[in-house]
Amino acid sequence: MTATAGNLAIEASNLVKVFGATRAVNGVDLTVPSGGVYGFLGPNGAGKTTTIRMLATLLRPDGGHARVLGHDIVREADTVRGLVSLTGQFASVDEELTGLENLVLLGRLYGYSWAQAKRRTNDLLGAFGLADAADRLVKHYSGGMRRRLDIAASIVVTPELMFLDEPTTGLDPRSRNQVWDIVRALVAGGTTVLLTTQYLDEADQLADRMAVIDHGAIIVEGTPSELKAAVGSGTLHVRVHDPAQRDEAERLLIESLRVPVHREADPAALSARVADPARVAHALGELSHAGVDVSHFALGQPSLDEVFLALTGHPAETYGAGETAEESAA
């Protein structure tokens, strides 16, 4: 790896966790350098949450070992707990308390005096735009406010390493942008962030490096651009005006893109995974040159599904919903 041994936030080797008959995590190796955002990508039930729950010392691994910030997650669990924080998939704040009480409570549990805890709470509420809602019960907060409070709760003591488990799932675009801003500010402050997500564009926006997990094991690791290079830059969708011209269009696209072209169920539509976006303009030019009327075209970013298809040969949706339920119950 690029980082030296003394400078690693996480080193995990062959981590295993078994729930009954399911090997939720099946030999995960992970090396995360200090600083920056490390994306941890995978569909529901792939083992993301279980892995980070082990790294955050909430679960004891059934096999393998890991060091977090140089400390063993089993033997030195207490030291690790003092240096990391975890924000789960579901805002883990107390709904029956006010925002202020939630943070003061955590401040006290981290060892601040009452006065220090109150001061820290006021600073945090101000920074997260929650000062006006300080004395309101959290059950009356919106989803975005709850998520912000949850993240504020995770930095009552600024952690060296922060696990963010799907922090934007279920948020509207504006709240999502706010969470992204917070993540960037965290990293600028020197915290290492391990971010799990189902969205490729989120990892792309934030992560310096990322790993893709599938069936409890890491299948690929690298920078976002390395990953995308492996997948191609996206999919071109073309819809011709007259379905009768589709064969002609298909021939022209294969010729100019030099990739396989897929015939969609729509009799006028074609799609192709392209490696080089520059060729797309050329291909479209060829179509108009040959008198093929194009009613619609789009060049999409590769989706997580396409990443999976390219890397594993099967789409992400084939995973059962069973493990999602298990992870939420955990």
Partner 1 sequence: MTTTETRPVAEGDLRSVLASRNRPARPSALSASLTFGWRALLKIKHVPEQLFDVTVFPVLFLLMFTYLFGGALAGSTSEYLQWVLPGILVMTVVMITLYTGVALNTDITKGVFDRFKSLPVWRPAPLAGALLGDAVRYTLASTMVIVLGLVLGFRPENGAGGVLLAVVLLLVFCYSLSWLWTLLGLLLRTPNSVMGVSMMVMFPGTFLSNIFVDPQTMPGWLRAFVDVNPVSHLVTAIRGLMHGGVTTGQIVSVLMASAVMVLLFAPITMYLYRNRK
96 binds partner 1 (CB under 8 A): yes
Strands (E), the chain: 8-19, 22-33, 37-41, 63-68, 71-72, 84-87, 161-165, 192-197, 209-214, 217-222, 234-240, 262-263, 269-274, 294-300
- 192: β partners: 161
Which of 150/221 has CB closer to partner 1?
150
Query: Taking CB under 8 A as the rule, does residue 16 contact partner 1?
Result: no
- From 10, 28, 106, 292, residue interacting with partner 1 (rule: CB under 8 A): 106
Closest to partner 1 by CB, 104 vs 203, is 104
* Residue (137 or 311) nearer to partner 1, CB: 137
CB closer to partner 1, 161 vs 220: 161
135 counts as binding partner 1 under rule CB under 8 A: no
Out of 60, 241, 258, 262, which residue is the one contacting partner 1 (CB under 8 A)?
A: 60
170 lies in the binding site for partner 1 (CB under 8 A): no
Query: Helices 246-257 and 278-289 sit at what angle, rounded to 10 degrees?
Result: 140
Separation in Å, CA 178 to CA 68, 160, 167, 293, 321 = 28, 21, 11, 42, 29
Give yes or no for a contact between 89 and 45, defined as CB atoms under 8 angstroms apart.
no
For residue 175, report the phi and psi dihedrals to the nearest 5 degrees: -60, -35
Reading the block at residue 281, the tokens are: 């303009």
Q: Which string of x and - marks every residue 172-211 that binds partner 1 (by CB under 8 A)?
A: ------x--xx--xx-xx-x--------------------
| Cβ pair 310, 228 in contact under 8 A | no
109 binds partner 1 (CB under 8 A): yes
Residues in contact with partner 1 by the rule CB under 8 A: 19, 50, 53, 56-60, 78, 81-82, 84-86, 88-98, 101, 105-106, 108-112, 116, 120, 123-124, 126-133, 137, 142, 144-145, 148, 153, 155, 157-158, 178, 181-182, 185-186, 188-189, 191, 329-330
